[in-house]
């Protein structure tokens, strides 16, 4: 393809380090789509004649059919997917194939192909996240009244509902989808026609190729167009954030499924056994989602490092942009699917959750709030009084609600019979009815909004 000025072919190691076909063959559909749009435009502009354009278009269809049927062959001498397509086209239709590369370069070609690929990847992730959200909302609705301990510092804090807890992940996924949508909107400009770096002297119609490939329009600066990989980084950063959320849920599932917690039971299809310990039921899928998130962040870092010192415009370093994006995407798609499956099928030990919520003095704040509200005690003083009550209950091996009124009055005279109405976990949860709070009515209102927005 570029042999004109060279006396000898590349060394074997040069061929190997140079070739991207082993991974960029994944771009074949996008490469053919961009070539189709390009050849139609070349003919419409009178840059090549209609007969040649038709021969090229037909040839491209044939290449597509072959790849669809047999996969893309890997010839390291042909470097990359762009050369593979062009060389096969030449075998099929002869020298007229050489007219396809008029007014373009592999630099704008790869930038276009890769944008198209990332755009499809974003659409796939968005669909996966929507399914994940639906699973969360369905389980949240089912568990809207289920009491569980809420934690800070992984210490029992205040009772919440399981529905509320699950809906927290719905919110994270919602932000993830919006980040991917932002990335998609920014990505959707077509670099094709920027040629090698400077644009072209041929009278091309960039708006037409942009339209044909469903971009919003052509990019504005040819140098930027061939050197920009922000769209891939946007994808990787959104993927990293999303993976981070999945990893936090995965960690919770691992904790919940442990025997000391006993909050959740993973079904057989998302657990594995041990080859030595017959009793084992391991949460491997959750652990792998947690593990994959690290690799996804690594992919993001890899591309940041590749791009950070590159002068304008194209440099071959940029060929390394694709493996981390492909890897991150595969890992993320799998993680979202596995997490959706776990959320859909996980069993909850609601009795155990409730027992632990009741045992951790988790309504201590409710007692303090009662003193503020009913006895006009300043909150800091109330906090101190309740601290003494917790200590007394702890010493007697009792729950707060099990202390006698006499005991409580011994700590502070102002405590009255009414406190027993706020010391239960149900009363505590029901009282947290501020917007976005854990009260079941609030959670149901958020679930209704979520269902509405998920359609
Ligand atoms: N395979 C290359 C890549 O992925 C295509 C662009 C090559 N351009 C060049 N001038 N060598 O980046």
Q: Cis bond leading into 327, ω under 30°?
A: no
| Structure confidence by residue, pLDDT tens digits, 154-208 | 999 999 999 999 999 999 999 999 999 999 999 999 999 999 999 999 999 999 9
Classify domain 107-143+160-200+216-349 by CATH number: 1.20.200.10
Read off the DSSP letter of residue 147.
E
Domain with CATH 1.10.275.10 in the chain: 11-102
- How close is the Cα of 327 to the center of ligand 1, in Å? 20
**Under a CB-based contact definition with an 8 Å cutoff, are residues 228 and 307 in contact?**
no
- How close is the Cα of 272 to the center of ligand 1, in Å? 44
| Structure confidence by residue, pLDDT tens digits, 148-160 | 999 999 999 999 9
Q: What is the ipTM of this complex?
A: 0.97
CATH of 356-454, one of 3.40.50.720, 3.40.1590.10, 1.10.40.30, 3.30.540.10: 1.10.40.30
Instruction: Give exposure, 32-61, as e/b (b: 16+ Cβ within 10 Å).
Output: bbbbbbbbbbbbeeebbeeebbebbeebbe
Catalytic residue among 153, 275, 434, 435: 153
| Cα-trace Rg, the chain | 30
Instruction: Give the DSSP per-residue string, 420-445.
Output: GGTSSHHHHHHH--STT-SSHHHHHH
Cross-strand pairs, 183 = none
| pTM for the whole structure | 0.94
Domain with CATH 1.20.200.10 in the chain: 107-143+160-200+216-349
Question: Is there an atom of ligand 1 within 6 Å of 318 CB?
Answer: yes
Say whether 156 is catalytic: no
| Structure confidence by residue, pLDDT tens digits, 248-262 | 999 999 999 999 999
Classify domain 11-102 by CATH number: 1.10.275.10
């Amino acid at each position: 393809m570029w042999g004109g000025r060279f006396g000898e072919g590349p060394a074997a190691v040069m061929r190997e380090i140079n070739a991207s076909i082993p991974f960029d063959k994944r771009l074949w559909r996008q490469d053919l789509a961009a070539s189709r749009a390009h050849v139609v435009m070349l003919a419409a502009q009178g840059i090549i004649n209609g007969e040649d354009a038709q021969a090229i278009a037909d040839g491209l269809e044939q290449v597509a059919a072959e790849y669809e049927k047999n996969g893309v062959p890997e010839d390291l001498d042909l470097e990359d997917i762009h050369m593979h397509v062009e060389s096969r086209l030449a075998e099929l239709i002869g020298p007229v194939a050489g007219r396809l590369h008029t007014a373009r370069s592999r630099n704008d070609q790869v930038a276009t192909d890769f944008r198209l690929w990332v755009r499809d990847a974003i659409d796939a992730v968005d669909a996966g996240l929507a399914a994940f959200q639906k699973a969360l909302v369905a389980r949240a609705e089912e568990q809207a009244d289920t009491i569980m301990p809420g934690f800070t510092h992984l210490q029992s804090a205040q009772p919440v509902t399981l529905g509320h807890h699950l809906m927290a992940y719905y919110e994270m996924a919602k932000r993830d989808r919006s980040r991917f949508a932002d990335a998609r909107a920014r990505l959707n400009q077509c670099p094709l026609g920027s040629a090698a770096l400077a644009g072209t002297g041929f009278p091309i119609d960039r708006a037409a190729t942009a339209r044909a490939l469903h971009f919003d329009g052509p990019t504005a600066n040819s140098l930027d167009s061939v050197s920009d990989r922000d769209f891939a980084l946007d994808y990787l950063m959104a993927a990293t954030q999303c993976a981070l959320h999945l990893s936090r849920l995965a960690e919770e599932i691992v904790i919940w499924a442990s025997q000391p917690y006993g909050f959740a039971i993973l079904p057989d299809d998302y657990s594995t056994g041990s080859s030595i310990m017959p009793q084992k039921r391991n949460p491997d899928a959750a652990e792998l989602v947690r593990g994959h998130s690290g690799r996804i962040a690594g992919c993001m870092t890899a591309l940041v490092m590749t791009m950070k010192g590159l002068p304008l415009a194209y440099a071959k370093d940029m060929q390394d942009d694709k493996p981390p994006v492909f890897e991150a995407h595969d890992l993320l798609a799998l993680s979202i699917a596995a997490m959706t499956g776990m959320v859909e099928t996980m069993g909850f030990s609601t009795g155990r959750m409730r027992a632990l919520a009741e045992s951790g003095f988790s309504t201590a704040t409710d007692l303090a709030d009662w003193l503020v509200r009913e006895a006009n005690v300043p909150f800091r003083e109330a906090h101190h009084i309740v601290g003494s009550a917790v200590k007394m209950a702890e010493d007697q091996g009792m729950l707060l609600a099990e202390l006698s009124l006499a005991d409580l009055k011994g700590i502070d005279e102002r405590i009255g019979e009414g406190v027993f109405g706020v010391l239960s976990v149900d009363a505590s949860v029901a009282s947290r009815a501020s917007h976005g709070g854990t009260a079941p009515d609030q959670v149901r209102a958020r679930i209704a909004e979520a269902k509405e927005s998920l359609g």
